[in-house]
Structure 1
Amino acid sequence: MRANEDTVLVGRACSLVPYRKEHVETYHQWMLSPELQELTASEPLSLEEEFAMQVSWRDDKDKLTFIILDHTGPPGAGEPPVPACCSAVCGHAGGAMCGDVNLFFNDHDDEKTAEIDVMVAVPSSRRKGIAREAVRMMMAYAAADLRTRRFVAKVKSGNEPSLALFRSLGYAEVRRLDWADEIHLALPAGDPADTPADGVLLESVRQTAAEMTRASYSGAG
């Protein structure tokens, strides 16, 4: 989706930037990890396929992706170097790529509901509140700019950190698919038509919307 192609959202622990071609090589390195392939139900791609996928994601009207930049420190030993554009966005060398956060508009009968997921791929960026802030900023952006009123997270039943994250944000379990080993959580749990226009924005998300700042992306494209 091109809606966010020039948008940067800046928070305290992280920033969100559009997924551009300059991010692909680092993203490709992440996705060679068997752990991440299992957690994201992904198949390994060649670098050429990864570049093609980036273009596909950018142009797909049903998918919106932000890359997460970690403000909290430099990459750990053995982790990919920081693309120059990412350091420039954050204004310091600590703006390392560390993951992504995504929306999927798969229900064409309900354009105000989106599936949401988040991945912090870099181990040194975990347990710092980055995933939580990234999800909150994505929700605030989607509610304001895309008029999204309900979010659904589909999480593997054994992924306790993700389940705990979404529950801490007010998501409630609405479905369990044993055959897929998935738990679906939603915010709000009921029909969004039964909630006020801004009902999905809990107080914490309203606060995030007020605290985060916006900028224009100046990467390579």
Structure 2
Amino acid sequence: MKINENTLLDGHKVVLVPYNAEHVPRYHEWMKSPELQQLTASEPLTLEQEYDMQRSWREESDKCTFIILDKQQWADTSVEEEQCMVGDVNLFLTDPTDLSLAELEVMIAEPSYRGKGIGKEVTRMMMCYGVTKLGIQKFQAKIGLDNQVSISMFKKLHFQQVSVCHVFREVTLELTVDEPVRMRLLDDMAFMKERDYRQTCSNRQELVSQ
């Protein structure tokens, strides 16, 4: 999605940055994992196909993608950005007749970063961006039945289970963004800052010291 091609979202533990070509090799290595393929219902791609996917996600108007970076590690300018990658987060506009509905997908690909509250922070950051920048009024999350950690996280964020598909072994949860939900989200995420990605990249250390 073009709208976020130069957007950086600054959180407590993470920064979210646009999915660029230099991120593809690390992402491709992640997606060789049978565990991640199962959790994301994905098929393995060749590296060339992964580059094609990255380009399409940047251009297509129904997909908004950010790469999750470890903020503390990213502050060290001697570390390449792709070495700071933790996972990714996506919003998919799945209904062309209703652009206020988005499917939300979060992947913490690095096992050492799981169970530390990063998924919750990233999810709320992406929801806040979706509400304020894309006009999203309802979020959906489709999660494998075996992924109880993610199901529990979304329920803690007030998503409600609306259906279970035993054929595909997934559960669908939803959250409607009415005014109380919107105000609570904006209040909870008041710490998040939206920055110019290219400008911030040139002075990473300053971001963490603020």
TM-score, normalised to structure 1, is 0.83
Matched residues in 1 for 2:69 and 2:183: separation? 24
Matched with 2:95 is 107
Q: State the AA in 1 paired with 2:45.
A: L
Q: Distance in 2 between matches of 1:101 and 1:118?
A: 4
Quote the sequence identity (%): 44
Q: Which residue pairs with 2:190 in the alignment? A: 210
Say how many residue pairs are matched.
Answer: 197
Question: Where do residues 31-46 of structure 1 align in structure 2 (5 Å cutoff)?
Answer: 31-46=31-46
Structure 1: which 4+ aligned runs deviate by more than 2 Å? 71-74, 82-86, 198-202
Q: 5+ residue gaps in structure 2?
A: 202-210
Cα distance in 2, alignment partners of residues 199 and 3 from structure 1: 27
Q: CA offsets per residue over residues 177-206 of structure 1, 9 Å max, x none?
A: 111111100002xxx6xx4xx444262x22
TM-score with structure 2 length normalisation?
0.87
Within 5 Å, which residues of 2 pair with 1:50-199? 50-71=50-71, 84-85=80-81, 96-188=84-176, 195=178, 198-199=179-180
The alpha carbon displacement at 1:207 in A equals 2.7
Measured against aligned partners, the alpha-carbon deviations of 1:142-194 in whole angstroms (never above 9, x if no partner) come to: 10011111100001111001101100000000111111111100002xxx6xx
Q: Which amino acid aligns with 1:97?
A: M
Q: Identify, as 1 or 2, the structure richer in helix.
A: 2
Deviations 1:34-53 (A, max 9, x none): 11011111111111111111
- 1:66 aligned partner, one-letter code: F
Unaligned runs of 5+ residues in structure 1 are: 75-81, 87-94
**Residues 1:201 and 2:182 aligned together:** yes
SS, match of residue 211 in structure 1? coil
Quote the RMSD (CA, aligned, Å).
2.0
The match for 2:207 is none
**Residues 17/184 of structure 1: CA separation in 2 closer, same or farther (3 Å cut):** same
Q: Distance in 2 between matches of 1:115 and 1:200?
A: 17
Q: Give the secondary-structure state (helix, strand or coil) at the position aligned to 2:39.
A: helix
Q: Which residue of 2 aligns with 1:20?
A: 20
Structure 1 residues 162, 72: CA separation in 2 closer, same or farther (over 3 Å shift)? farther
Task: Give the Cα–Cα distance (whole angstroms) in 1 for the partners of residues 165 and 81 of structure 2.
Answer: 41
Distance 1:181 1:175, change over 3 A: same
Aligned 8 A contact 1:10 1:214 in 2: yes
